Structure 1
Amino acid sequence: MSTDSAPAAQESDREPDPSTASGLPPSLVALFLAFARMSLAGFGGVLVFARRAIVEQHRWMTADEFNETFALCHFLPGPNIVNLSMVFGARLRGIAGGVAAFAGLLLPPTLIMTVLGIIYARFGDVDVLRRSLAGISCAAVGLLIAVVFRMMTPLLKRMDAVGLILMLAVFAAIGVLRLPLQAVLLVAIPLSVAVTFLLRRKVAV
């Protein structure tokens, strides 16, 4: 039996969020609390926990919808996860929903990091603290790699060869060839939109 079967079964057996099951969008308070929990659990980056909460726990989005929304936020200026909170909240509850998700994402960690910043300014030279931070950075990289593979799952399930080729091409251009990010995006975004439009049009015909 594959190692992915147990997590998959757990995800499929997990009860959907009541607001989703009833067809009603979550309340502003629910959005604020959901993103507050994401931010407080988001050691090494919030994206891992955001996808788990939105797609697997609350089922407010499918995996494909999350990927599409995150792709849009990735190409907008500013931090990706902050963009995601605004776009996602506004999609469910309008501008007020965007503000609630944004506040939930940033307010709790901002307060905590302010306190930790004061502590680090005084004790940052302690050797034990430096070693601890080095270990945390390794865990953060592992979490990021894990969520990348989870986001690739819809492409692999659909055997979307075009999407995988575009993804690998962008990775090679930026990660291997070290081409400027802006130049790669100026080519990759119009190309991916054009290819997707043509393929969907062909299927529709």
Structure 2
Amino acid sequence: MTHQRAASSPRTVLELFWAFSWLSLQGFGGVLAVVQRELVEKRGWLSNEEFVEDWAVAQVMPGPNVCNLALMFGDRHFGWRGAAAALAGLLALPLVLLLTAATVYGQLAGHAAAAGALRGMGAVAAGLIAGTSLKLLAQLRQHPLGLALVVAVALGAFGGLVLLHLPLAVVVFGLGGAACVLTGWRLRRGASS
């Protein structure tokens, strides 16, 4: 499988900090849609292929996905300083906003309008995640397992989590591990032919 490389990269640690700050300020309710749009489509720091691979690694590592991605991305470009800058950019301004919002919400928690606003934000977040998933689906056509098997794995994960109520660790290590082994086998088989 050939990989398209990103066209550019961050020029300074400060640029990296502000990029992740801007990214985090847009990511209310989840950042997957925002991360892909900012790093791939707007800035061109990652290709779609690189994003899918990095996001997959970030998801299986312990901790918040986007924090893992920020650490990996920052380290790749500027070492430990880049990792610290990307993570600080991701967390500093949202922390201030969260503390402010918590204070305001403490005053308004009993109002019906506040509860309605939170439910509305949940619907928007679900739509953003669904939209980004559809964008990334195109990349899965190039996956070594083939689109049909990848969709079967995705449906298996959905079924395991939503329908069978299996623990996330069981799905990630069981189904995810099997998909990794099968992908490695297919890549080795393809390289030897």
**Deviations 1:130-162, CA, capped at 9 Å, x for gaps:** 222221111111111111212222013665333
State the distance in 2 between where 1:50 and 1:156 align. 21
- 1:171 and 2:158 equivalent? yes
Q: Give how far 1:195 is off.
A: 1.1
State the distance in 2 between where 1:178 and 1:59 align. 38
State the distance in 1 between where 2:73 and 2:169 align. 25
Q: Which residue of 1 aligns with 2:113?
A: 128
Alignment partner of 1:150 out of 135, 159, 172: 135
State the distance in 2 between where 1:91 and 1:165 align. 33
Q: Which residue of 2 aligns with 1:8?
A: none
- 1:185 and 2:172 equivalent? yes
Q: Which sections of structure 2, spanning at least 5 residues, go unmatched? A: 1-5
- Are 1:44 and 1:143, in contact at CA under 8 Å, matched by a contact in 2? no
* Aligned residues between the structures: 185
Percent sequence identity is 31
State the distance in 2 between where 1:175 and 1:42 align. 25
- Are 2:10 and 2:16, in contact at CA under 8 Å, matched by a contact in 1? no
Alignment partner of 2:60 out of 75, 79, 82: 75
Q: Which residue of 2 aligns with 1:52?
A: 37
Report the CA distance shift for 1:55/1:122 in structure 2 as closer, same or farther (over 3 A).
same
State the distance in 2 between where 1:203 and 1:35 align. 37
CA RMSD of aligned residues (A): 1.8
Q: What stretches of structure 1 move > 4 A for 4+ residues in a row?
A: none
Q: Which sections of structure 1, spanning at least 5 residues, go unmatched? A: 1-15
